[in-house]
Structure 1
């Protein structure tokens, strides 16, 4: 059994625990901006393929006391890197965290790289080259409370970049955050889903992938673990084939998105085509003032501008009031979820929320507000 750590956005640790347990992880424990868990190689591949919330899945190699550069160098050098790296493989090192004496991540990463290639030079009179874009082995070191954890990054490019989204509007939601909001809402695929401010379509698309049981990792070109020395590409292919055969052929209930901008609706449709759901999700150009409920009940989602993004100088207060009016007048019988990073603007909606979830959109603290519309 290997030890793994899934990095997630701050505030999503608890629901990430649920997701990992559903995927078969054991010894699952929430931490800060991540979740530790145990499992075999098949679980590592399955989590990379299926998990909707994490950014990266790290496999822990070693942990040791570390206060200064010498501790770091010797601790990293004590690992037998020939088990993970040959001299003709490329490598990259990323560093997070700090100690009192190691407080510059670039220096930390450089020291780790030096320890690895010095070991290679001593053993083989040759060394790996550094490749920052898509290395054969991505190494992660994390410093915290005078301890260093060395891990291998199994994901490669961040998992939130699904690979289906070549077209994005202004200030798009990360795919992983959209998936997290949907999970927090407890929306079920049997319920109508509608986003009247959908932009380039991230929320409806993530809802469609969930409802059709599509693994988000299917759109990626590669995972980091595919170039590891112990990579089992037959196992990966079996998991991919199983994922493809488990997809549903049609949505249990409609999923719609609309936006006043024809250009961003065009982007949403391109993205829908890229992830194979263009025949399932419905996008249309529609101003918020013209929005009406497409059915008697359902779940409405939206991520309106909140000053930190679009239209800083426009009258956002009036826009939020209009949103509240549309919800009150047109969506009786629905449940609405609104993500906002601006409390004053949120008050302009003029509705009392029944529940609030604290989340982070990047570094910005936000709230997902739930409204029961009667």
Structure 2
């Protein structure tokens, strides 16, 4: 039996996520703003949670209705038979996104939904679910758009970008989902060597290695909310887990390198790779940018240098970006380089002509992924 689902994603990555969902077997895939609608069976829901690299969470829509104000919201939420989805002994959390003229405060909207659910439980069972914000058994998502409300169960729980391996991180790390999406955008083939010369706590090299070794990112997580669903199929879940565990490769098709000048963040990168069991697969090295040499005659170089938003002073960074361009030009002939930056003035300091400029959001920050063909 097929169901409708909605995957939430970083703004701008909807087409990348849509392609990934299609590869995982999703049907009727339709990108929307910060999300992708798709259709599939229960096995697909489980598989997407285990395998998706570029999405935040998978929502399972329960009901949609006309919702101009809080009174209507309460009444319509009460019409849902909540005992099909949670029992009074389950903990509960409600999150709200969007809004309209009358429902313009997400915290109030979420509170109204929670009240409608627990009032129904009290009437039916004489007891109610407790609210647990951090780690609830069942998480309910309410999305208001104009006068339309969609109520969904969150099958993922904590965002899927929290793989579980990255306990150590640098000062301005990329989200794992964005790192994975960048590898898709640059069309990196795992048979091609890859280097991140400013790897920080290792997110890009680790995500590249997980992809190249065919390791499901969900294997590092302790829990998914779908495991608390009343219709959870434990046998199917165990089968998919076993398939994922058995599908990993033992060796990278091509080398992956990560380097950084800071020994402290490199130690974090080693630690994060160790949690994935891939510390011997990635070659991390402490290297000053000025001493960087191409480790092969061709490959993909990808990096996320500081843009002065959170790390580094813009004036000092100008010289750094110039050095980046010089090192590319002088030592990386035959490579293709990609630089993610949120500062156009700094990007000019690289001093090379970009063959492509790809708009990308890093959180709320509008950035550009610059492509350089190095001949």
Q: What's 2:368 paired with?
A: 367
1:314 Cα deviation after fit: 5.4
Q: Deviations over 1:221-258 (max 9, x none)?
A: 10011111111122111111101111111000000000
1:313 Cα deviation after fit: 5.7
Q: What's 2:122 paired with?
A: 121
Task: Answer whether contact 2:307 2:314 (CA < 8 A) is retained.
Answer: no
Report the 3-state secondary structure (helix = DSSP H, G, I; strand = E; otherwise coil) of the residue aligned with 2:209: helix
* 1:195-214 correspondence runs (5 A): 195-214=196-215
The CA distance in 2 between the partners of 1:170 and 1:50, in whole Å, is 27
2:226 paired with 1:257: no
The CA distance in 1 between the partners of 2:224 and 2:193, in whole Å, is 34
Report the 3-state secondary structure (helix = DSSP H, G, I; strand = E; otherwise coil) of the residue aligned with 1:116: helix
Report the 3-state secondary structure (helix = DSSP H, G, I; strand = E; otherwise coil) of the residue aligned with 1:141: strand
2:326 paired with 1:318: no
* 1:157-176 correspondence runs (5 A): 157-176=158-177
1:152 Cα deviation after fit: 0.3
Q: What's 1:328 paired with?
A: 329
Q: Deviations over 1:246-295 (max 9, x none)?
A: 11110000000000001111110001101111110010100000001001
Q: Deviations over 1:77-118 (max 9, x none)?
A: 111101001111111000000010000001000000011111
* 1:1-374 correspondence runs (5 A): 1-312=2-313, 315-374=316-375
Q: TM-score, normalised by structure 2?
A: 0.99
1:180 Cα deviation after fit: 0.4
The CA distance in 2 between the partners of 1:171 and 1:74, in whole Å, is 44
Report the 3-state secondary structure (helix = DSSP H, G, I; strand = E; otherwise coil) of the residue aligned with 1:10: coil
Report the 3-state secondary structure (helix = DSSP H, G, I; strand = E; otherwise coil) of the residue aligned with 1:46: helix
The CA distance in 2 between the partners of 1:285 and 1:118, in whole Å, is 59
Q: Which runs of 5+ in 1 are unaligned?
A: none
The CA distance in 1 between the partners of 2:271 and 2:230, in whole Å, is 37
1:341 Cα deviation after fit: 0.3
Report the 3-state secondary structure (helix = DSSP H, G, I; strand = E; otherwise coil) of the residue aligned with 2:271: helix
Report the 3-state secondary structure (helix = DSSP H, G, I; strand = E; otherwise coil) of the residue aligned with 1:27: strand
The CA distance in 1 between the partners of 2:244 and 2:352, in whole Å, is 42
**Shift >6 Å, 4+ stretches:** none
Q: Which runs of 5+ in 2 are unaligned?
A: none
Report the 3-state secondary structure (helix = DSSP H, G, I; strand = E; otherwise coil) of the residue aligned with 1:73: helix
The CA distance in 2 between the partners of 1:207 and 1:186, in whole Å, is 12
The CA distance in 2 between the partners of 1:181 and 1:309, in whole Å, is 21
The CA distance in 1 between the partners of 2:63 and 2:82, in whole Å, is 11
The CA distance in 2 between the partners of 1:222 and 1:373, in whole Å, is 44
